[in-house]
Structure 1
Amino acid sequence: MKRSTTKRSFVALAAATSLVLAACGSDNDSASTTDAPVATEASVDAEAPADTAALADDVDREGWPQKLVFTLTPSQETGGLIETAQPLADMLSERLGIEIEALVPTDYSGVIVALESGQAQIAGGLGPRQMVQAEEQAGAQLILQSERFGSLLYVTQWFTNDPDTYCDDTPVADENGFLFCNGVLDAESAADGPIGADKLALLTGQTVSFVDQGSTSGYAIPALQLVDAGIDPIDDIDGLFAGGHDSSVQAVYDGDAVVGVSFNDARGQIEETSPDVGQKVVVFGWSGPIPNDGFAVAGDLPESLVKAITDAFTDIAATEEGATVLDELYNIDGLVPVDSADFDVIRELEIKLGDVLQ
């Protein structure tokens, strides 16, 4: 997955975008009352190593299970995600001395269902809405938040294959040839958003590619922006749910939608198969800042295990191998302690949008 530096430090995620997006890709789900179908799962048959890396000999392991299930948000194509998740599950297993099973549901809501039903005890790549839902619906404990380019914030990006309509100026390229207009390339951080919001009023009757109804940057935030622009996100546009941030970009690239949204900058996720995506798909707008995605654990785990899991992820992120895997999974640069209050903006969004997010 290609990522650029400098100006694309915020024009590149979650995810997360939510997620993916990052997530955003930043980074993201609505819960269901039934078990979501599982696309792929992989089991790590890991016996406790003799020299478990992150645990001291005197760690209290009372009440620890013999196996844990680690569920991840499907912010990109599920098959590729599980392949990347496997090494992370291995690293976690080595540090905890517990068998870890990696689980990737078919949609965002499946992650919350897995936590709520006890099918999973650890969750990663949780977008902002998922972080709130994990805590409030599944009774989970938030443990870590993703950091990217030194920031705990990201944005929804708006992009189009029709720059003549949605750009006030001639699109300009960053150092990698990816095109932007309406001043997006000049933005220094997520706090510079929103940008280009005045163009959203042009979307009436158009096909717009979203990510998933549970995605924060891929639906909730852009839906709120549409409402603020006087556009009903259900009745005034033809909404297309692509299923992933990369797929949303692909939909606009292929011409299935004229405008789309994702975490910033999910275009890089399809650059390998669509090398000219940065020229055909032009970013014309940003949302305001969104808190990054993160990790949570089931609320009924022993406190000693919660600490061990938190320390293990932090240790993994500090290693070269672990940093590479986290980057491949969700473009994560680091993991830091999380403050639940940082997601109050998402709680307020849920109240404001109401039925739109159901």
Structure 2
Amino acid sequence: MLKAIMSLAAVAFVAAVAQPSVANAQDCRNRGTLDARYCDDDGDLLADLPKDKANWKDPSTLIFSYTPVEDPAVYENVFEDFMVHLGKLTGKRVRWFAAESYAAQIEAMRSGRLHIAGVASGATPYAVNLAGFKPLVAMEKKDGTIGYTLQLIVPAASDIKSVADLKGKRVAHVAPSSNSGDTAPRVLFKEQGIEPGKDYEILYSGKHDNSIMGVVNKDYDAAPIASNVMERMVARGMFPKDAVRVVYESSPFPRTAFGVAHDLDPELQKKILEAFTSFDFLNSKLAKEFKDEKGFKSVDYKSDWSAIRTIQKETGVTYTQEGLSKLKNE
């Protein structure tokens, strides 16, 4: 079923690429790493609003999606309060889109079928460059930060004590677009003398929760995962915290970016931003799921995702159709 979905998504993506580019019809002075259909004349690394107002979108129904980690059905319920609030502020109907993968989420926004999304940190540059995604906010922790860390976890009884002990092991990575689950460990572990894919076997799990439960059940020897995902799974009682050990932890990275399609009417974009910043987070279902968060905080893609873009560049990531295709094939 998933392969069929991804095949259909691939066809949709190729069709979208074949369509005339809006940006090509404009006087585009700067594009940077953005896809050919977008312009970045203001230099913020994000796709500019189309110059022709006829290309601004103001849909009667807004489609919302959250990064595909764990069970999408669970998160539809978790975000219910926010979607109701969003609908009241915008005067629009709001519907949930259950993305099966990072690539499917990006393609949905690129094709105009997705308007608002929470995109995983590592997938955010792909969404920005390939789909015109415009990050607005991230969840703010109670200590005022928006970060999470890469944690290398192993079964509690494992003889692995450090990154150096990964040689010859079977290690679960999440997906090629995942920052903490793939690109960051490729750079950070190599700095410690261990090259993923060469010194140990990489097995892609598809999602952080799959990697985590795989370590808990000893299907994998180890896994680099996002700290916030494991915290939520422990809080929900999915496994005892002492079932795994953390043998390595990175410096913080920004968390999931919540944002909009670049071509939404600017007044609608303002209302959506207001919906995030005015939402009564602490008295919502979101607070029960994301226990260490207190609300949404504005982000700046150019500065906040600088380290992630650097890591992706060092690992040979390209924000192209070919680059996205590689995500589907893993």
TM-score range, shorter chain: 0.7 to 0.9
Structure 2 stretches lacking a partner, 5+ long: 1-8, 14-55
Query: Which residue in the other structure is 2:101 paired with?
Result: 107
Structure 1 stretches lacking a partner, 5+ long: 1-31, 37-61, 168-198
TM-score normalised to the size of structure 2? 0.72
Q: Shift in Å at residue 246 of structure 1?
A: 2.3
Q: Residues 281 and 287 of structure 2 are in contact (CA less than 8 Å); yes or no, is this contact kept in structure 1?
A: no
Q: Secondary structure at the match of 2:271?
A: helix
- Mapped partners of 2:251, 2:282: distance in 1: 32
- Mapped partners of 1:320, 1:270: distance in 2: 19
**RMSD across aligned C-alpha pairs, in angstroms?**
2.6
Q: Shift in Å at residue 118 of structure 1?
A: 1.0
Query: Which residue in the other structure is 1:138 paired with?
Result: 131
Amino acid at match of 1:99: R
Q: Secondary structure at the match of 2:122?
A: helix
Query: Which residue in the other structure is 2:40 paired with?
Result: none
Pick from 218, 224, 230 the counterpart of residue 181 of structure 2. Answer: 218
Q: Secondary structure at the match of 2:171?
A: strand
Q: Deviations over 1:241-267 (max 9, x none)?
A: 233222221101101011112221544
Q: Residues 281 and 294 of structure 2 are in contact (CA less than 8 Å); yes or no, is this contact kept in structure 1?
A: no
Bigger share in helix: 2
Q: Residues 282 and 294 of structure 2 are in contact (CA less than 8 Å); yes or no, is this contact kept in structure 1?
A: no
Q: Shift in Å at residue 330 of structure 1?
A: 9.0
Query: Which residue in the other structure is 2:315 paired with?
Result: 353
Amino acid at match of 1:130: A
Q: Residues 162 and 258 of structure 1 are in contact (CA less than 8 Å); yes or no, is this contact kept in structure 2?
A: no
Query: Which residue in the other structure is 2:140 paired with?
Result: 147
Change (3 A) 1:144 1:241: same
- Mapped partners of 1:107, 1:63: distance in 2: 25
Q: Residues 76 and 96 of structure 2 are in contact (CA less than 8 Å); yes or no, is this contact kept in structure 1?
A: yes
1:86 correspondence with 2:90: no
Q: Residues 85 and 329 of structure 1 are in contact (CA less than 8 Å); yes or no, is this contact kept in structure 2?
A: no
Q: Shift in Å at residue 288 of structure 1?
A: 2.2
Query: Which residue in the other structure is 1:72 paired with?
Result: 66
Query: Which residue in the other structure is 1:227 paired with?
Result: 190
Amino acid at match of 2:78: T
Aligned positions of 1:311-330 closer than 5 A: 311-316=274-279, 318-322=280-284, 324-325=285-286, 328=289
- Mapped partners of 1:233, 1:34: distance in 2: 32
- Mapped partners of 1:153, 1:290: distance in 2: 5
| Aligned-residue identity in percent | 25
Q: Shift in Å at residue 163 of structure 1?
A: 5.0
Amino acid at match of 2:206: G
Count of residues paired in the alignment:
267
TM-score normalised to the size of structure 1? 0.67
Change (3 A) 1:143 1:34: farther
Change (3 A) 1:355 1:344: closer
Query: Which residue in the other structure is 1:178 paired with?
Result: none
Change (3 A) 1:261 1:333: farther
- Mapped partners of 2:314, 2:288: distance in 1: 33
Q: Secondary structure at the match of 1:297?
A: strand
- Mapped partners of 2:98, 2:77: distance in 1: 10
1:278 correspondence with 2:241: yes
Change (3 A) 1:210 1:138: same
- Mapped partners of 1:320, 1:330: distance in 2: 9
